[in-house]
Structure 1
């Protein structure tokens, strides 16, 4: 099983070992590492990009219990140097963190975030209504979100009952395997684009500056 170093480290470079490299019918290569810094597609967060021994990583995915690195070319088994694309990681991290903040803000009005898409350009949080949700406008939600970001709370990562919990300062923690900013202020302005309620669910679209 691949060690997910990004769970505990924000490093963008490291040395590891290539366990296997298998050519696929489409001409790409599936690489399995002993340890990785690359966050795979999942949890609403897009895959990291970068290189392994200089070979471009197209996408990292979870295939059952195996984390697979889909590569543009072959990478020989043995020692390997990983380099994460810092610009892509930073944008994905800010979008994912923004999703947490939107979810926390929604709970103040009686809405529970149940699903999120943190892809840049298509950010979206879906809420279910709790017992008796309060009336909420896009303006009211935006105000609460802005206040949470501006608290400049520092990230805290803990573990409980085998789950990785992520939060900032005294905010409510969420179980999450994604990457997150060190301080809420790093997220920047969160712009709410659209809010739509349908069949008891509330969908909120959002975007950030690149």
Structure 2
């Protein structure tokens, strides 16, 4: 099984051994590595992109607990992995902003149940137990801005195979995504809308 070094490292470059490389009908290649820095698509977060050796790494996915990398050319032996920094930074900021929105809205009694952190589609969905008011968009935006402005440091822990992430003393969430080192790195978050539909609150946002 591929060692997922992105769980514990913010590095964007490393080396790995190619475990397998199989050509597909579309002339793309399915690559399994001994270790990877590429965060796969999932958990509401877009895939990392970059290069594996001389090949472009187009998409990473998880298939039967294995990370599979899609490349535009074959790769063999020992290779250098290079993660596209700008794409990773955008994905990480969006994902982390979703966490901060969850913290703020859960203070009002709602419970975060899922998130989509893709630019243009970003939202966090909450459910409620009993009657609760819909938080004002402006109030959520101000509270998130306060957390960003506080520059809280990231706290990551792994216990019994369970990885949790937070910043400062905020509530921790079990999560396998990538996260900013400081809440200040999230930048300005705009709350686009907060709408309750049949007991589910959808909070849309953008950076």
Q: Is the 8 A contact 1:110 1:132 kept in 2?
A: no
What runs of 5+ residues in structure 1 fail to find an aligned partner? Answer: none
Q: Which residue of 2 aligns with 1:79?
A: 78
**Superposed displacement of residue 133, structure 1:** 2.9
Q: Gaps spanning 5+ residues in structure 2: where?
A: none
Which residue matches 1:49?
49
Distance 1:42 1:135 in 2: 28
The aligned counterpart of 1:192 is 191
**Residue deviations 1:48-74, cap 9 Å, x none?**
010000210110000112110011111
1:7 aligns with 7
Q: 2: CA distance between counterparts of 1:55 and 1:152?
A: 37
Structure 2 residue aligned with 1:40:
40
Q: Deviations over 1:2-26 (max 9, x none)?
A: 0000000000000110000000112
**Aligned partners of 1:110 and 1:131 also within 8 Å:** no
Q: 2: distance between equivalents of 1:46 and 1:168?
A: 22
1:183-204 CA distances to partner (integer Å, 9 max, x unpaired)?
A: 0010001001122110100001
Within-5 A mapping of 1:29-178? 29-76=29-76, 78-178=77-177
Between the aligned partners of 2:57 and 2:2, the Cα distance in structure 1 is 16
> For 1:80-123, what per-residue CA distance to the aligned partner results, in whole angstroms no more than 9, with x for missing partners?
10000000000000000000000001111111111101111211
CA contact (8 A) 2:59 2:71 kept: yes
What TM-score results when the alignment is normalised by the length of structure 1?
0.96
Structure 1 distance, partners of 2:54, 2:93, is 26
Q: CA deviation at 1:131?
A: 4.3
Give the Cα–Cα distance (whole angstroms) in 1 for the partners of residues 147 and 133 of structure 2: 19
Q: TM-score, normalised by structure 2?
A: 0.97
Supply the distance in 2 between the matched residues of 1:174 and 1:136 (Cα, whole angstroms).
21
Q: Is contact 2:134–2:201 with CA below 8 Å preserved after alignment?
A: no
In 2, the alpha carbon distance for the partners of 1:28 and 1:71 equals 6
* CA drift at 1:134: 4.2
The C-alpha deviation readout for 1:126-170, integer Å capped at 9, x for no partner, is: 011144534411111112111121111000100233210000010
